[in-house]
């Protein structure tokens, strides 16, 4: 009997995905980040799970000095290739399961930090909150539902119900569970499910729910 092949590590999985597929995303800023951060006075920003750099590039062009961290060097290379000479971005290839922020930032953002391979998301987000400077902002955006085309695929293929995704209340509770963070030190600016329009592979459109949590550290 042949021994089973061990599953790829997170680093292997994501690097292979970006290296083999090329650009996977639009290259544009996530709608929630643009909506929540537009008009905020720029300072230093930490973008966790930056992927191909759409958010980091937008932040830099608003005047932020950005540190963009992702596990896949190939994804960061795509972002760096789109960088303008005046964009203040430091690209860091690191596994967020182990990487420790070296300082505090005026903005820490994590958009759609989900993974089909093992990812200690709750621990990463608690660490992210700890990296917010006093007076700074923490923005966590995640999927709160699957798009209409995924529902259709599951129905056509006899698939199971979609996995339950964390709500903004779930994410908020996670930050203060088994951590040194104190709720009284934070002000909730946004805690909501917000719909945006998604375009499916066939060109059809429909709403997708995002979980949006924005906190200010006092």
> Which structural domains are found in the chain, ordered by start?
26-145+164-196+212-217 (3.40.50.150)
Q: What is the pLDDT of residue 198?
A: 77
CA dihedral 127, 132, 138, 144 (to 10 degrees): 0
Q: What is the pLDDT of residue 207?
A: 86
Q: What is the pLDDT of residue 204?
A: 79
The CA distance from 166 to 171, in Å, is 6
86 to each of 68, 77, 98, how far by Cα in Å?
Answer: 16, 17, 30
The CA distance from 41 to 28, in Å, is 21
Give the predicted TM-score (pTM) of the model: 0.89
Q: What is the pLDDT of residue 36?
A: 98
Q: What is the pLDDT of residue 153?
A: 44
pLDDT averaged over 10-residue windows placed end to end, the chain, 218 residues = 72 89 75 97 98 97 98 95 97 97 98 90 96 98 79 43 79 94 97 88 82 98
Q: What is the pLDDT of residue 168?
A: 98
The CA distance from 112 to 72, in Å, is 15
Q: What is the pLDDT of residue 157?
A: 41
């Amino acid at each position: 009997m042949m021994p089973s092949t061990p599953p790829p590590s997170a680093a292997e999985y994501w690097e292979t995905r970006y290296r083999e597929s090329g650009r996977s995303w639009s290259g544009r800023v996530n709608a929630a980040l643009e909506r929540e951060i537009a008009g905020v006075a720029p300072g230093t920003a930490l973008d966790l799970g930056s992927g191909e750099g759409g958010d980091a590039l937008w932040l830099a062009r608003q005047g932020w000095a950005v540190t963009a961290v992702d596990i896949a060097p190939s994804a960061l290379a795509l972002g760096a290739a789109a960088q303008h000479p005046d964009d203040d971005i430091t690209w860091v290839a690191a596994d967020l399961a182990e990487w420790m922020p070296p300082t505090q930032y005026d903005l820490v953002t994590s958009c759609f930090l989900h993974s089909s391979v093992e990812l200690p998301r709750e621990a990463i987000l608690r660490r992210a909150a700890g990296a917010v400077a006093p007076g700074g902002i923490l923005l966590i955006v995640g999927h709160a539902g699957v798009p209409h085309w995924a529902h259709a695929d599951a129905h056509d293929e006899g698939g199971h119900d979609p996995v339950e995704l964390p709500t903004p209340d779930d994410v908020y509770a996670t930050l203060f569970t088994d951590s040194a963070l104190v709720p009284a030190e934070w002000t909730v600016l946004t805690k909501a499910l917000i719909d945006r329009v998604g375009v499916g592979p066939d060109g059809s459109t429909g709403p997708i729910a995002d979980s949006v949590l924005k906190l200010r550290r006092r």
